[in-house]
Structure 1
Amino acid sequence: MITHSNRTTRNKISMALLLLCGATSSQAQEAFNPESPWMLGDWGGLRSELLEKGYTFNVLYTGDAATNLAGGYDSHTTA
Structure 2
Amino acid sequence: MMEPLLTTKDVSKILNLTVGTVLEMIHDGRLPKPLNFGTVRKPNYRFKRDTLESFLSPEPAPQPKPKRTRRRHPEIRRFV
TM-score (norm. length: structure 2): 0.24
Which structure's residues are more often strand, by fraction?
2
Higher relative CO (Cα under 8 Å, sequence separation at least 6) belongs to 2
Which structure's residues are more often helix, by fraction?
1
TM-score (norm. length: structure 1): 0.24
Higher-Rg structure is: 1
